[in-house]
Amino acid sequence: MEKSPHSGHRQRMKEEFLQYGAERFSEHQLVELLLFFGIPQGDTNVLAHRLIDRFGSVHGLLQAKYEQLMAIPGVGAHTATLIQLCGELVTRHGLTERPTGTLLQTTEDIGRFLLPRFWRCDKEKLLMVSLNDRSEALNVTEISTGTPNATAINIKLILRQAVLDDARSIVLAHNHPAGHPLPSREDVNSTILVRKELKAVDVRLRDHIIVSDTDYISMRETASLAMIFE
C-alpha cells in the first residue's frame, strides 16, 4: 500500500521543533504543532491557517475566548480547552509573583513589567506600581476594574496605598482593551489630578502607562503631556 505524502509529518515537525526551537516555524506551523495534541489524528494545517486568519496571530489566538474558539469549524471542546490552557499558562508565566525588588529604571523596564498584567483582560483595569528611591518595585496594587471602555480612578485608594508602601514615586497604568493606547481627555485630566494629590504627600507620579494588546504608550514620554510630570 502506498504511503500518504503526510506519513510521518507530525513526527518530523516535533523533531524539528525539539532540535531547532520555534525560530524555523511560521505562526501557523506553531499552531499546527499545538493542534497535534488536541486532535490526535488527521491534517491540522488547514485548521491552523483558519485560526490564524481569524485571530490574526498566535498572540491573538491565545487571547481568544472559549466561545470564540468553538465557533471556528473544526475546533472541538478538547482543542478549545487546550488553547485556553496555553493562554493561561503564558499569562501566569509572564507575571512576576513577587514584584518586590524588580528594578524599573527605564520606560522599557516598566512596559515589560506591566504588559503581562493586562494580557487577556477585556475590561479596563487600573494598576499602581509603588517604587522606592532606587526605582525598585515595592508593590503592585489593582485600583479598579471597570467596563471595556472605562474604569474608576480612586484617588483616596492611590494615596493610601502610596503611604502604606512608603513609596517615593508611583507609576499608574491602565489598558484600552478596545482600541489604540492613545490617552483620552479623561486620561489626561485624571492624571493631572492624581499628580497634584500625590505631590501633597511628597510622592512623585513618575508616569502613566496606557496599554493596548501588545503595545503601550508612556504619557511622560509623549511630548505634549510631559509637563504633567515635571
Q: Indicate if the alpha-carbon torsion angle 55, 22, 112, 109 is positive or negative.
A: negative
Taken as a whole, the chain contains a residue count of 230
Question: Which residues have C-beta within 8 Å of that of residue 160, sequence separation ≥ 6?
Answer: none
Cα distance between residue 230 and residue 208, in whole Å:
13
Choose which CATH entry (1.10.150, 2.50.20, 3.30.980, 2.40.128) describes domain 9-94.
Answer: 1.10.150
Q: Residue 3: which pLDDT band, with cuts at 50, 70 and 90?
A: very low
Share of residues in the chain with pLDDT > 90 (%) = 58
Domain 107-229 has CATH 3.40.140.10: yes
Among residues 137, 144, 158, the alpha carbon closest in space to that of 201 is found at 158
Domain boundaries, the chain: 9-94, 107-229
Q: What gap in Å lies between CA 5 and CA 20, rounded to an integer?
A: 23
**Measuring CA to CA, how many Å separate 121 from each of 124, 131, 138, 153, 172?**
8, 24, 23, 18, 17
149-160: average pLDDT: 91
Q: Which of 42-51, 74-83, 174-183 has the lowest mean pLDDT?
A: 174-183
191's torsion region: left (phi>0), alpha (psi -120 to 50) or beta?
A: alpha
Here the cell at position 104 is 524599573
Residue 119, pLDDT above cutoff 50: yes
Say how far apart CA 6 and CA 20 lie, in whole Å. 21
pLDDT at residue 4 tops 50: no
- DSSP category for residue 209: E
